[in-house]
Structure 1
């Protein structure tokens, strides 16, 4: 972890791309997570053109996984920079996290293949969702609220920010899971120091869990 941090205002709907440099760790993978945030909104064509097999050779990685281009859903974010910026496939990226990939992770599939299975990621970050703005949430059977941090149109090509309030109609939720949209009546902050709990839905949108005191209040209630 460096002593530098990334600050982004007006983050909502900001396009970003993510590259995971994977190294074999037993039967699974450890990953360094690189994100285009901080170098301007991620250009779709240039990001889509990145050749992961060539990039694995260039970075001496066991594998490279390209997370589908997605859009931040908080209003402002701060994130510690975990390593030096790098040019990967022609675009500049910040190193924002490292993580152990889930045991059944398949680099040939997107995050919808891990839907509704929580995992953890090492990062230091602060997300701010402003009063008067909508948040989009999952509630798991154990009563944990999960707040959408990014959405993507990679799986559902018709998914836009304006469609998120009614997204429950597009999701096939497991028993005990619920989706809800709510307009905040006060600012919500989610601050992570070390480990963040995250979970994807069936459309590969990503949520952060309100656990271990990271949130200033539970926005579901």
Structure 2
């Protein structure tokens, strides 16, 4: 079933259903500061599926010059893994090279961020992003999890085939066999016994794996249950 898009609160929040394995694209408009980059994060979510060829064709150098920022970093095209997403917008939407985007977050890029690399360069390193969002994962469906040595569960929010070109939703349960997990880290897939809801108000803790898939941590009570346990 294709996603449906519902806007409310005078265009400040979007709720999108049917999101599992649905393609999205993301651009970070970066401004260099004394201790790294600050980013405006634009995402195609709420504007329809991210068109692969048009997104790939976006010229980040031309875009940076046009919008007066230091750099534009293109996050490789990804696929959401929740079933329903609600997220607050933090500014006006924009269209880049004919592709519409919503402004979904602002963040300070983590130490060691290199705009010449993808997120796998920061594999298994926790960072934070400012956003208000609700992720809903439906009971009975699989969720793909990391467990860090400090016994925090990390729930996959997106996967990408940017590095592992054959990675699909169907192959995710065996992803643990392909990851170079650091000592003490574990991966597993479980079927949810009940709906999992992850509610973020302010800061989300996120971590990528070494194939650039992204997970959100169940930290500070953001989840209504821990599916690892």
Give 1:94's match in structure 2, choosing from 99, 102, 106.
102
Instruction: State TM-score, norm by structure 2.
Output: 0.95
Give the distance between the partners of 1:79 and 1:6, measured in 2 at CA. Answer: 6
Distance in structure 2 (CA, Å) of the matches to 1:119 and 1:88: 27
What is the match of residue 164 of structure 2? 156
Give the distance between the partners of 1:53 and 1:165, measured in 2 at CA. 37
The Cα offsets for residues 144-195 of structure 1, whole Å up to 9 and x where unpaired, read as: 0000000000010010100000001110100000000000010000000000
Please provide the CA RMSD for this pair.
0.9
Q: Does 2:16 match 1:8?
A: yes
SS of the aligned residue for 2:179 comes to: coil
Partner of 2:200: 192
Aligned to 2:220: 212
The separation in 2 between residues aligned to 1:47 and 1:106, in whole angstroms, is 21
How far, CA to CA, are the matches of 1:108 and 1:39 in structure 2?
27
Q: Give CA-to-partner distance per residue, 1:28-57, whole Å, 9 cap, x none.
A: 100000000111100100000000000000
- Tell me how far apart the structure 1 counterparts of residues 97 and 154 of structure 2 sit (CA, whole Å): 32
Which has the higher mean CA deviation after the structures are superposed, 24-33 or 144-153? 24-33
Which segments of structure 1 move beyond 4 Å, counting only runs of 4 or more? Answer: none
> How many residues are aligned here?
220
In 2, distance between residues paired with 1:158 and 1:174?
23
Q: Which residue of 2 aligns with 1:123?
A: 131
Aligned ranges for residues 46-195 of structure 1 at < 5 Å?
46-195=54-203
The unaligned stretches of length 5 or more in structure 2 are 1-9
User: Shift of the alpha carbon at 1:27?
Assistant: 3.5
Distance, in Å, in 2 between the alignment partners of 1:39 and 1:195 is 24
